Structure 1
Amino acid sequence: MQVPSSATSSLNRESADAPQSDSSSIIEWLMTETRDERFIDNIFIDMCDRLNQVGIPVSRGTLHFRILHPQWLGARILWQRGMKEADIQTFGFGIEDSDRYRNSPVNELHSGAKMVRQRLEPAASANAPPYPLYDELRTEGHTDYIAWPLEHTLGKHHIITFGSDRPGGFSDEDVAALANLLPAFALVSEIRLKNRLARTLLETYVGPHASEQILAGATTRGSGVTVGAAILICDLRDFTGISDMWPRDDVIELLNGYFDAMAEPIERHGGEILKFMGDGLLAIFPLSSTHACGDLLAAIREAQTAMAALNEENVQKGHQPLGYGIGVHVGDVMYGNIGSRSRLDFTVIGPTVNIASRLESLTKEIKRPVLLSQAFVEMAGCQTKLENLGSHMLRGLSEPIGVFAF
């Protein structure tokens, strides 16, 4: 059958006007216009929207990243059509032992597959692997699913997936266009992921406030600022004897339980733990918060409750309850970099820290677990609620200071 020339012209015009499966404009956007966007989830959402604009029918997309975090093995970023913000979900260590993970296309890719493609319409999916994800995608109305490894440098493999809800799913041209995006998106995502990992690692080891200072450029020895802060120093009692007598794994478990009991309330109430010192810790509550002293007291109260619960568990296991000492003072401290030319510690120093440390040592002598300086108590406005223990001489000071018990 011959098509009239007028019909041919009409078909050509319709073909020219129709969106094409061409990702070149998106590649250019990724490489030249995303430099000011800090977060990869925002870039991913924008990319999925742009894919639809050029005629590639993406109804769902996910990114699966392995991350360096003390609590999480990885994270998944999910976008679906109509979402203005991505859904971000973290996964704990041990997820790879679950049936959900074993029976998934993600496991196939982690096991070495170069691509996973599954059409989801009934006529095309009779022999599909019985993955729960595929059933969920069908229920949501998706007709096609495709996933690739996302190759970062030094052999790091993450995962990117796309779903379609168009009848028939992705065309061969769509798949080719999506595949062409991968090198550019891998580069863009690696930069953001490494920035996030650097931030996470710094937050893990030096705390959120110190990490912000370091990332902002406070990396020169001696750089720092003077800040007003309430200082808390805590130490575990008789740890040397425990570490000598207990098996290594039991000692580690004990320390982790103790630090959880102490650290979580501190962080929950706005304090920052600057360092763990063997069996002790140093934390600050900056006075830039008008509630800093009250927050510190609330953190101690919760920590005492948590330690009581931990000691009940220890007694049930046949162990002695753990003792501890806490010293608290308030004043100006130097907050910044101290150390050698090549190895620095971001911490606080000054007389305020020394007095908090001496108060912690004093808890051993007068057998009270929490001691606070009069200066702190007056700033907190809680003199009438605490026991006044009078004045005490502290090592290194020429005058006694007022001491209160919590």
Structure 2
Amino acid sequence: MTDPISDITAWLTDGARSRPEPSDMMAECCERLIAAGLPLWRVGVFVRTLHPEIFGRNFIWRPTTGVELGSVDFDIQHTPEFLRSPLAIVFQEGAEVRCRLDAPGNNRFPFFDDMRAEGVTDYVAVPLSFVDGMIHASSWTTRQQGGFTDAQLTDLKRVVPPLTRLIEVIGLRRTAETLLDTYVGPRAGERILAGQIRRGHTETMHAAIWLSDLRGFTALSDRLPPEQVVEILNLYFDCQVAAIHKHGGEVLKFMGDGLLAVFPIEADEQALCSRVLEAAREARAAVAAMQFVSGETPERFRFGVALHVGRLLYGNIGGGNRLDFTCIGPAVNLAARLEKIAGRLGRTIVASGAFVGTCAADWDNLGEFPIAGFSRAEQVYGLSDETPRE
């Protein structure tokens, strides 16, 4: 006679290939368990992540709604709701927690009030122990009168080990994607995961280039403690990164107080350059509004950004097994020279003739400037709404 639980564990062990997406896998796993006789109601999987802003992700399944995805930030660890929840015990002690919610006087966890309102009679939280020793959690509930039977709990726990291993594999893949997105950007990360990891693996890209830096950063670094300088840099980069991402750009590199971003041009060059300029305007306003109090007088900040359009080489550059996924080429060098000219002219936003030729705006011709390393001078433009500052 076929054992349906064995079929489910074999399906999980084989990678749940019929449902490769994590949420789909969880939904099918729960549906298979119900078909095998487990009277499940609400099932949750809670996985901690390696992410600069997100503490963990959760997958909540109900037969009426399917899988709902969510995430929580690091502050959740210190909230009364988490500290007084059964999952806190699972995470901190790696221990299983079971509570019969239909038992009188069982008010150990405030969370159970919500479960009772859904008709839940039994709750069990089971740790998911990864190979590296990190503890994650799962929770299983039923509305069956009398709660789970011993046989049902035994079947449930047979499924947990292969489910844990599969979640770990999926989690490792997601962690790799998250780290690559965080440190090299989503487009570069996608290429690296696809196998573009050898030195010399490059491609040509036609893109709008953004190169910026913070005015007076050297004097600021000399005057303030390093911890405050780092805090200021993070606030300053926040003013730009959100605008860059919003308008389709990708941040490639932070270089001290400098930022290099690209906006790949795949279709309408004029529309994309207009979005780049809008991102620059938004960043300009955000930096102008930025304040940092380091004494009695708040610090105020200015920055400069150069915009250019050109072809660049995008890929792996480095030495031995230490590589950087970045972009190089005359177009990047020209953007860097233009940013220095912006500083000399007291301008926030400057652009090359190539950028201005595809981006309709109120531009002022600031003159022709010799560019170090280039054979000919470059016409430089600034926005008419800016007043040069010393």
Q: TM-score range by the shorter chain?
A: over 0.9
Residues 1:193 and 2:171 aligned together: yes
Give the match for residue 387 of structure 2.
Answer: none
Q: Distance in 2 between matches of 1:315 and 1:394?
A: 38
CA offset digits 1:296-355 (Å, max 9, x no partner): 1111111111112104x5599614321211111101111100101111111111011011
1:51-200 superposed matches below 5 A? 51-84=33-66, 86-121=67-102, 124-129=103-108, 131-200=109-178
Give the match for residue 404 of structure 1.
Answer: 381
Q: Distance in 2 between matches of 1:212 and 1:271?
A: 15
Higher relative strand content = 2
Q: Distance in 2 between matches of 1:378 and 1:316?
A: 45
Q: Distance in 1 between matches of 2:116 and 2:278?
A: 50
SS at structure 2 position matched to 1:127: coil
Residues 1:381 and 2:360 aligned together: yes
The list of structure 1 runs, each at least 4 consecutive aligned residues, that deviate by more than 6 angstroms after superposition, is none
Give the match for residue 343 of structure 1.
Answer: 322
1:116 is matched by which residue type in structure 2? Answer: V
Match of 2:350 among 371, 376, 390: 371
Give the match for residue 39 of structure 1.
Answer: 21
Go from structure 1 to structure 2 and tell me whether the alpha carbon gap of 1:80 and 1:154 turns closer, same or farther (over 3 Å shift): same
Residues 1:294 and 2:294 aligned together: no
How far off its partner does 1:395 sit?
A: 1.1
The answer (yes or no) to whether the contact 1:221–1:337 under 8 Å persists in 2 is: yes
For these two proteins, the number of residue pairs brought into alignment is 381
Higher relative helix content = 1
Q: Distance in 1 between matches of 2:19 and 2:289?
A: 45
Match of 1:304 among 276, 284, 294: 284
2:86 is matched by which residue type in structure 1? Answer: P
Q: Distance in 2 between matches of 1:33 and 1:279?
A: 45
How far off its partner does 1:113 sit?
A: 4.8
Give the match for residue 8 of structure 1.
Answer: none
Give the match for residue 13 of structure 1.
Answer: none
SS at structure 2 position matched to 1:154: coil
How far off its partner does 1:109 sit?
A: 1.1
Greater displacement, 287-296 / 59-68: 287-296
Go from structure 1 to structure 2 and tell me whether the alpha carbon gap of 1:220 and 1:306 turns closer, same or farther (over 3 Å shift): same
How far off its partner does 1:32 sit?
A: 2.4
Q: 5+ unaligned residues in a row in structure 2: which ranges?
A: 384-390
How far off its partner does 1:390 sit?
A: 2.5
The answer (yes or no) to whether the contact 2:15–2:166 under 8 Å persists in 1 is: no
Go from structure 1 to structure 2 and tell me whether the alpha carbon gap of 1:362 and 1:33 turns closer, same or farther (over 3 Å shift): closer
Q: Distance in 1 between matches of 2:192 and 2:173?
A: 13
Residues 1:280 and 2:261 aligned together: no
Greater displacement, 283-292 / 150-159: 283-292
How far off its partner does 1:229 sit?
A: 0.2
How far off its partner does 1:169 sit?
A: 1.7
Greater displacement, 29-38 / 283-292: 29-38
How far off its partner does 1:210 sit?
A: 0.8
How far off its partner does 1:83 sit?
A: 2.3
Greater displacement, 361-370 / 186-195: 361-370
Q: Distance in 2 between matches of 1:36 and 1:216?
A: 22
Q: Distance in 1 between matches of 2:299 and 2:178?
A: 36
Match of 1:214 among 192, 195, 198: 192
- Please give the TM-score of this superposition, normalised by the length of structure 1: 0.90
Greater displacement, 35-44 / 241-250: 35-44
SS at structure 1 position matched to 2:106: coil
The answer (yes or no) to whether the contact 2:284–2:348 under 8 Å persists in 1 is: no
2:222 is matched by which residue type in structure 1? Answer: D
1:310 is matched by which residue type in structure 2? Answer: M
SS at structure 2 position matched to 1:55: coil
SS at structure 2 position matched to 1:395: coil
Q: Distance in 2 between matches of 1:322 and 1:83?
A: 49
Go from structure 1 to structure 2 and tell me whether the alpha carbon gap of 1:249 and 1:289 turns closer, same or farther (over 3 Å shift): farther
1:191-340 superposed matches below 5 A? 191-290=169-268, 291-311=271-291, 318-340=297-319
Q: 5+ unaligned residues in a row in structure 1: which ranges?
A: 1-15
SS at structure 2 position matched to 1:253: helix
Go from structure 1 to structure 2 and tell me whether the alpha carbon gap of 1:316 and 1:297 turns closer, same or farther (over 3 Å shift): farther
How far off its partner does 1:128 sit?
A: 4.1
Q: Distance in 2 between matches of 1:320 and 1:127?
A: 55
Q: Distance in 2 between matches of 1:389 and 1:228?
A: 26
Go from structure 1 to structure 2 and tell me whether the alpha carbon gap of 1:396 and 1:101 turns closer, same or farther (over 3 Å shift): same
The answer (yes or no) to whether the contact 2:94–2:135 under 8 Å persists in 1 is: no
Go from structure 1 to structure 2 and tell me whether the alpha carbon gap of 1:348 and 1:133 turns closer, same or farther (over 3 Å shift): same
1:166 is matched by which residue type in structure 2? Answer: Q
Give the match for residue 391 of structure 1.
Answer: 368
Give the match for residue 5 of structure 1.
Answer: none
Larger radius of gyration: 1
Q: Distance in 1 between matches of 2:45 and 2:124?
A: 12
Go from structure 1 to structure 2 and tell me whether the alpha carbon gap of 1:317 and 1:357 turns closer, same or farther (over 3 Å shift): farther
Q: Distance in 1 between matches of 2:208 and 2:295?
A: 36
Q: Distance in 2 between matches of 1:113 and 1:351?
A: 56
